[in-house]
């Protein structure tokens, strides 16, 4: 039989010898244990046979390749395979049991009292919202085991059970993964947990935000932020913080504006720091019970400004009317559904779509040129069925801003609404329009302008609103657009307001076309006649004759400024059958080159207002 020498694989100390001379050993059987660099290593038999001589004892130091024992090779029956190698442990190891207990405590099932209180209030838990938003099984959490930085004032068990995740659930998942590929569907999600210290911003969850915001910038992930909570937390004791004003979270989150879509969702109370993060978002979705303010009751009272309940501060009716809230949801489930829909416009085109009978567009504009109509009817017909998401619908209703799809392709729509001030563009309308232009430019969405405006609003009252500065935002923003855009003049296209609805000039869009109902001019027809022919009209003393002369002059001006005549002078590109509007838009957008892959930002940021 062959004699073999078992040698040391490296330098170390013999801890244990498990065989003796005369023992029969099989392949893989442990022979001894060596310790090296504070780690214990098993030396196992590489051949079957009989131990002849053991050269070491526990405590011996050996060099690499030093002889440990000798054996004679020979056949030895090995035990069943089930007894060899790694097998499932018969019991849960203590460290795994501890981990499972900690993880269970972070889940709703491990916090039954807090979950029950939340449900009793008619609300969902933070994790229920996150689970509803993300595709099943796709959410990977960061910092789930974090607890509040209050070890100096509370015992560890208390913190583990009552401050899981330090009140902020944060991670990365997939949203709309059934419609878009994995990369398009990736999304970062952060949700304050109101059941943990009222969703306040603690030292540890600030660190989690910083971590996520850096990853978001690196990975170019859209963000959904559930912002319910009370702002900064004064009770943390475990860090050497005096003011906390060197916190990075607000700067890091603000820097994401214009780089990735930012979606804010709020239900319940959202004050101070939580509201500041919410206000940085491109869009804010709120439920009827939302209260949003830069200071909560304690801060207001502390400033000597009176005593108010949380429900009196920034209620939804106020924040919708003033434009803070972009979208109103019926409840938290609807808010999540709306967030998914909003994100989808920035995830890419869809293949399945349908639309209404386009011949219906021919009846949208009343035959009486002075009769008002609702431009929403036009948008509903032009856009793919069910694809419209109107933003800030109750704020400045004279300008409609929406995200839509046409043949599955997402784009932004800006439309004058004649039901409000005849479609005149006031300061708020201009702000609303400029912001949608910025949003679409930042993320590469084409724009469609539907123009029916007598121009910018005028008058002393309008100028009190800083009109000059506000309406000019449409010019400077329009001039900076690099995304493709088109203008369709539905009826009125007068003055500077009409130019603003075309990026600053009728030559700027991919096309500027009008429907046959279009009428254009440097200013409204009636005003132009009154100003241009005042002397002639004043010379007519008979009121009836003067009115007849005025009507005749307006009719001639209308003929001069009607779309067909303007197109004949090539100041617009064409006059089209309203039923051909969708086709004209899709043909133009297909002709536009695809933008190159974006390395950084197209815009420094998207204006929060």
Token duo for residue 58: 């526990």
Class of domain 95-344: alpha beta
**Quick one: what percent of the chain has pLDDT higher than 70?**
98
**3-state DSSP assignment of residue 488:** strand
Residue recorded with tokens 């009836």: 544
Check residue 121 and give its pLDDT.
Answer: 93
Answer whether 384's CB lies under 8 Å from 355's CB: yes
Q: Nearest-5° angle of CA 560, CA 561, CA 565? A: 70
Condensed to tens digits (0 to 9), the pLDDT of residues 189-234 reads: 999 999 999 999 999 999 999 999 999 999 999 999 999 999 988 8
Between 113 and 2, the higher pLDDT residue: 113
The superfamily (CATH) of domain 358-518+564-591 is 2-enoyl-CoA Hydratase; Chain A, domain 1 (3.90.226.10)
Check residue 543 and give its pLDDT.
Answer: 85
Q: Which of 18-22, 89-93, 204-208, 272-276 has the lowest mean pLDDT?
A: 89-93
Average pLDDT of the chain to the nearest whole number:
93
Give Cα 54 to chain centroid, integer Å. 69
Which whole number is the average pLDDT over 35-54?
94
Check residue 245 and give its pLDDT.
Answer: 85
- Whether pLDDT at 575 is above 60: yes
- Whether pLDDT at 498 is above 80: yes
Q: How far apart are CA 342 and CA 350, in angstroms?
A: 14
Answer whether 290's CB lies under 8 Å from 270's CB: yes
Answer whether 503's CB lies under 8 Å from 478's CB: yes
pLDDT bucket at 240, cuts 50 / 70 / 90: confident
Q: Which of 343, 277, 287, 341 is nearest to 319 (CA)?
A: 287
- Whether pLDDT at 541 is above 90: no
Q: Is 365 left (phi over 0), alpha (psi -120 to 50) or beta?
A: beta
Determine the angle formed by the axes of helices 467-479 and 427-443, rounding to 10 degrees. 20
Q: Which of 172, 171, 194 is nearest to 183 (CA)?
A: 172
Which whole number is the average pLDDT over 233-240?
84
Answer whether 434's CB lies under 8 Å from 380's CB: no
- Whether pLDDT at 83 is above 80: no
Q: How far apart are CA 158 and CA 147, in angstroms?
A: 10
Domain-by-domain residue ranges, the chain? Answer: 3-77, 95-344, 358-518+564-591, 524-561
pTM above 0.95, yes or no: no
Q: Which of 392, 453, 389 is nearest to 426 (CA)?
A: 453
Q: Nearest-5° angle of CA 455, CA 459, CA 463? A: 95
Answer whether 572's CB lies under 8 Å from 506's CB: yes
- Whether pLDDT at 82 is above 70: no
- Whether pLDDT at 526 is above 90: no
Check residue 388 and give its pLDDT.
Answer: 98
Give Cα 209 to chain centroid, integer Å. 15
Check residue 547 and give its pLDDT.
Answer: 83
Answer whether 452's CB lies under 8 Å from 491's CB: yes
Q: Which of 437, 471, 447 is nearest to 602 (CA)?
A: 437
Between 80 and 302, the higher pLDDT residue: 302
Q: Which residues contact 596 (CB under 8 A, 6 or more apart)?
A: none
Q: Nearest-5° angle of CA 278, CA 501, CA 456? A: 90
Check residue 366 and give its pLDDT.
Answer: 96
Which whole number is the average pLDDT over 484-510?
97
Max CA-CA distance within the chain?
A: 138
Check residue 552 and give its pLDDT.
Answer: 78
Domain with residues 3-77, CATH architecture:
Beta Barrel (2.40)
pLDDT bucket at 445, cuts 50 / 70 / 90: very high
Between 447 and 300, the higher pLDDT residue: 447
Q: Which residues contact 253 (CB under 8 A, 6 or more apart)?
A: 209, 213, 262, 277, 280
Q: Which of 361, 376, 368 is nearest to 519 (CA)?
A: 368
Which whole number is the average pLDDT over 555-562?
80
DSSP code, position 362: G
**3-state DSSP assignment of residue 504:** coil
Q: Which of 549-558, 568-577, 599-608 has the lowest mean pLDDT?
A: 549-558
**Quick one: what percent of the chain has pLDDT higher than 90?**
83
Are domains 95-344 and 358-518+564-591 of this chain identical in fold?
Answer: yes
Answer whether 412's CB lies under 8 Å from 446's CB: yes
Answer whether 449's CB lies under 8 Å from 506's CB: no
pLDDT bucket at 534, cuts 50 / 70 / 90: confident
- Whether pLDDT at 375 is above 70: yes
Condensed to tens digits (0 to 9), the pLDDT of residues 320-351 reads: 999 999 999 999 999 999 999 999 999 999 99
pLDDT bucket at 181, cuts 50 / 70 / 90: very high
Q: How far apart are CA 16 and CA 19, in angstroms?
A: 9
């Amino acid at each position: 039989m062959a004699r073999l020498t078992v040698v040391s694989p490296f330098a170390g100390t013999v801890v244990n010898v498990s065989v003796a001379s005369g023992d029969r050993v099989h392949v893989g059987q442990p022979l001894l244990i060596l310790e090296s660099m504070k780690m214990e290593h098993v030396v196992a038999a590489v051949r079957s046979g009989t131990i002849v001589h053991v050269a070491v004892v526990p405590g011996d130091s050996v060099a690499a390749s030093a002889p440990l024992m000798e054996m004679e090779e020979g056949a030895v029956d090995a035990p069943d395979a089930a007894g060899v190698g790694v097998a499932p442990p018969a019991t849960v190891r203590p460290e795994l049991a501890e981990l499972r207990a900690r993880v269970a405590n972070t889940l709703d099932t491990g916090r039954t009292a807090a979950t029950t209180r939340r449900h009793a209030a008619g609300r969902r838990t933070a994790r229920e919202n996150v689970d509803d938003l993300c595709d099943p099984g796709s959410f990977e959490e960061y910092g789930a085991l974090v607890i509040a930085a209050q070890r100096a004032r509370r015992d560890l068990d208390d913190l583990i059970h009552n401050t899981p995740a330090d009140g902020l659930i944060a991670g990365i998942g997939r949203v709309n993964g059934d419609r878009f590929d994995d990369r398009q569907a990736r999304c970062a999600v952060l949700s304050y947990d109101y059941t943990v210290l009222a969703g306040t911003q603690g030292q540890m969850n600030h660190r989690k935000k910083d971590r996520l915001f850096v990853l978001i910038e690196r990975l170019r992930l859209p963000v959904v932020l559930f912002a319910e909570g009370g702002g900064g937390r004064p009770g943390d004791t475990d860090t050497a913080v005096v003011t906390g004003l060197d916190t990075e979270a607000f700067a890091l989150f603000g820097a994401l504006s214009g780089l990735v879509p930012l979606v804010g969702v709020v239900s319940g109370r959202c004050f101070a720091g939580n509201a500041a993060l919410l206000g940085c978002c491109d869009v804010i979705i709120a439920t009827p019970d939302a209260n949003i303010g830069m200071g909560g009751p304690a801060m207001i009272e502390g400033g000597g400004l009176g005593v108010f309940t949380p429900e009196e501060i920034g209620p939804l009716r106020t924040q919708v009317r003033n434009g803070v809230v972009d979208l109103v949801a019926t409840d938290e489930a609807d808010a999540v559904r709306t967030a998914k829909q909003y994100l989808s416009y920035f995830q890419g085109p869809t293949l399945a779509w349908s639309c209404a009978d386009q011949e219906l567009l021919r009846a949208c504009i009343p035959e009486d040129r002075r009769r008002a109509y609702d431009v929403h009817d036009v948008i509903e017909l032009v856009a793919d069925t069910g694809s419209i998401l109107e933003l800030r619908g109750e704020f400045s209703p004279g300008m409609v801003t929406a995200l839509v799809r046409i043949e599955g392709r997402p784009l932004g729509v800006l439309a004058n609404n004649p039901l409000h001030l005849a479609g005149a563009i006031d300061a708020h309308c201009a702000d609303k329009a400029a912001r949608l232009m910025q949003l679409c430019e930042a993320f590469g969405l084409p724009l469609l302008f539907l123009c029916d405006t007598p121009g910018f609003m005028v008058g002393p009252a309008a100028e009190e609103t800083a009109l000059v500065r506000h309406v000019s935002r449409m010019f400077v923003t329009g001039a900076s657009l690099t995304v493709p855009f088109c203008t369709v003049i539905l009826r009125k296209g007068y003055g500077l307001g009409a130019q603003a609805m075309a990026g600053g000039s009728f030559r700027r869009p991919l096309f500027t076309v009008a429907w046959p109902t279009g009428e254009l001019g440097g200013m409204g027809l009636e005003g132009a006649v009154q100003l241009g022919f005042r002397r002639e009209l004043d010379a007519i003393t008979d009121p009836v004759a003067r009115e007849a002369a005025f009507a005749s002059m307006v009719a001639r001006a209308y003929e001069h400024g009607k779309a067909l005549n303007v197109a004949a002078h090539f100041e617009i590109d064409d006059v089209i059958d309203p039923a051909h509007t969708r086709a004209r838009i899709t043909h133009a957008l297909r002709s536009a080159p695809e933008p190159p892959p974006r390395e950084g930002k197209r815009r420094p940021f998207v204006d929060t207002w």
